[in-house]
Structure 1
């Protein structure tokens, strides 16, 4: 594939900032059509579909941030000279063609594609049908920016395939695919993994946990829990499960206090049998599978655990491997928790809402990867490349 120089890529991105701003009214009008056609039954999905001036400003900011970042392609990772005279250089290289499959969020059309483009990959976008009007206008912005700078529109393509057509494309792609990034719920991820013929980088479910240890600062713990659950319910970094240590002093009063706080935010509480003894308005967990579920809603589960090991075991059994936090004043206990919990991000006395590229200093992100191969955590510009070995010799042969 053609390697674009940094100046050309940045010129395209500068054009994008101007074009998105100029087409603001057109973008909002297209999004209005999508919103009017969408049922509000799924509030989290509806929230992700909404585009307003603030989100458009966010798109422009994301493009500007990526434009200002260092080009990730062609950076030397390592260099060594062997005894046989060979010089071996390992450098970053583009993936090639990346297919991004996502649901609802039109801003992904900008914020994911800008990363892949700066990383010198060709981008195929498969958005959900619920955002079709918004996505078409945003891809038109891309095409205008590309052509304005002498590049083919083929660098970024929007697919409007139905489920059956998408399945067939995954099984028999009409062009070489190097990487697929599905951004959405578990059903979408499972669908892609079942049918894809190339590497799939999974942005897994959230279902994030907080463990309130017996020595936690209760006021701080409560503040962290409320923020993690209510700050943005549609975020994959939102909190869903709260594990309370059975040795927590004044456990009954503290759980009632937490319940009252949640009621102020209209959060529905589910609880295990022991927790129900301390809560006035919670419903009993009727199905063990609830522990696996990512809610993306004003809903949370409260459960009791007997110590750190039980908390870790429960998190590693049920969580999506995304984020988990421990609330404790004991730094050694926190260190043990953070080592043992199998998640992309582990926290001590902080909200899981910080699992975000911008918040973690990575910049704009394509996704939060819960995979362990290639990269785990926020998938930013630096992580959206692969590598290649350059071997220089003068006639060496292997014995």
Structure 2
């Protein structure tokens, strides 16, 4: 793959910013076609689909932020000269061709492409059918930006194929793929992992947990919990499950208070363990599958645990390994929790809504990786490169 210089890449991104601004109303009109055709039964998916002036501003800002970041390609990781005189340089290198599969959010068509391109990767975008009109016009914008700068449209391509054709492409790709990022449900992820012949980086579900320690500050707890649950229900960083230590001072009164507060925010509550005895009028968790579920709705589970170890065990068993929170004023307890919890992001006394590239200082993100190879957490520009060893000799042979 040809390596583009930084100036060329940044020129494409500047062109794209200008084009999106010029095409602003056309983009919003195309999105309205998608919204009009969408069944609003799934409010979270609908929210992700919307493109308005604010969302267009966000697209432009995401491109600007990536444009302003340093080029991640060709940076020296290590430079060593051995006693033999052999010089070994390890440098960052593009993946090659990335395929991302995602639902609904048209802004992914911007963020995924800008990150992949700045990191000198080609990208194939497979959006959902619910966003087809939005994605088509955004692809047209990308192609115009590339052509204005003398580059092939092949750098950024939207895959105009249906679900069955996508599955066949994964089984027998018509072009070389180097990395696949599936952003969707367990079935999609399992299918990709089963059939992919290249590296797969998992962008997992949320199903995030908050543990209320007996050492928690109650006012902080309510503030963080409500934000994590209600700020944006369609976000993969939204809260789904709350575990309250039974030794929390005024446990019974505080459980009732929390239920009332959640109710005032129209949050549906499911109960379990000792919480069920205190909130008898509310429905109980019916089966274990609920504990694995990511709600993406104004819905939450309130449960109790007897101690710290039970909380850790339950979170590691059921969570999506995305984000987990402990509310505690005990710093040693917080450190222990953060070390033992198997999640991409662990928090003390802060909302899980911060698990986001922009909020974490990464900038635009391709996804939130819940994988452990090669990166975990927000996939920003610096994470869309691999590495390569450059070895310089002078007739060296191994003996």
Q: Could you list the per-position Cα deviations for residues 141-162 of structure 1 after superposition, in whole angstroms to 9, with x for gaps in the alignment?
A: 0000000011011111111211
CA contact (8 A) 1:92 1:388 kept: yes
The aligned counterpart of 1:17 is 17
The aligned counterpart of 2:255 is 255
For residues 185 and 62 of structure 1, the distance between their equivalents in structure 2, rounded to whole angstroms, comes to 26
The aligned counterpart of 1:276 is 276
SS in 2 for 1:262: helix
Q: Does 1:99 align with 2:99?
A: yes
For residues 266 and 244 of structure 2, the distance between their equivalents in structure 1, rounded to whole angstroms, comes to 21
CA contact (8 A) 1:269 1:281 kept: no
SS in 1 for 2:200: coil
SS in 2 for 1:93: strand
Q: CA deviation at 1:281?
A: 4.4
For residues 259 and 374 of structure 2, the distance between their equivalents in structure 1, rounded to whole angstroms, comes to 41
CA contact (8 A) 1:256 1:280 kept: no
Q: CA deviation at 1:195?
A: 2.0
For residues 185 and 111 of structure 1, the distance between their equivalents in structure 2, rounded to whole angstroms, comes to 20
Q: Does 1:320 align with 2:309?
A: no
The aligned counterpart of 1:264 is 264
For residues 36 and 299 of structure 1, the distance between their equivalents in structure 2, rounded to whole angstroms, comes to 26
For residues 217 and 295 of structure 2, the distance between their equivalents in structure 1, rounded to whole angstroms, comes to 27
Q: Could you list the per-position Cα deviations for residues 165-224 of structure 1 after superposition, in whole angstroms to 9, with x for gaps in the alignment?
A: 111100111110000011122222222222211111000011000000011110110100
For residues 282 and 379 of structure 2, the distance between their equivalents in structure 1, rounded to whole angstroms, comes to 37
The aligned counterpart of 1:367 is 367
Q: CA deviation at 1:249?
A: 1.0
Q: CA deviation at 1:84?
A: 1.2
For residues 190 and 28 of structure 1, the distance between their equivalents in structure 2, rounded to whole angstroms, comes to 34
Structure 1's 281 and 20: CA in aligned 2 closer, same or farther, altered over 3 A?
farther
Aligned CA-pair RMSD: 0.8
CA contact (8 A) 1:129 1:160 kept: no
The aligned counterpart of 1:346 is 346
CA contact (8 A) 1:274 1:304 kept: yes
The aligned counterpart of 1:310 is 310
Q: What is the TM-score of this pair, normalised by structure 2?
A: 0.99
- Aligned residue pairs total 399
The aligned counterpart of 1:134 is 134
SS in 1 for 2:201: coil
For residues 322 and 281 of structure 2, the distance between their equivalents in structure 1, rounded to whole angstroms, comes to 29
The aligned counterpart of 2:174 is 174
The aligned counterpart of 2:241 is 241
For residues 261 and 220 of structure 1, the distance between their equivalents in structure 2, rounded to whole angstroms, comes to 14
For residues 303 and 235 of structure 1, the distance between their equivalents in structure 2, rounded to whole angstroms, comes to 22
For residues 255 and 261 of structure 2, the distance between their equivalents in structure 1, rounded to whole angstroms, comes to 10
The aligned counterpart of 2:156 is 156
Q: Which runs of 4+ in 1 moved over 3 A?
A: none
SS in 2 for 1:79: strand
SS in 1 for 2:278: coil
SS in 2 for 1:284: coil
Q: Which runs of 5+ in 1 are unaligned?
A: none
Q: CA deviation at 1:112?
A: 1.0
The aligned counterpart of 2:72 is 72
Q: Does 1:291 align with 2:291?
A: yes
SS in 2 for 1:365: coil
For residues 26 and 313 of structure 2, the distance between their equivalents in structure 1, rounded to whole angstroms, comes to 50
Q: Which runs of 5+ in 2 are unaligned?
A: none
- The 5 A counterparts of 1:101-116 are 101-116=101-116
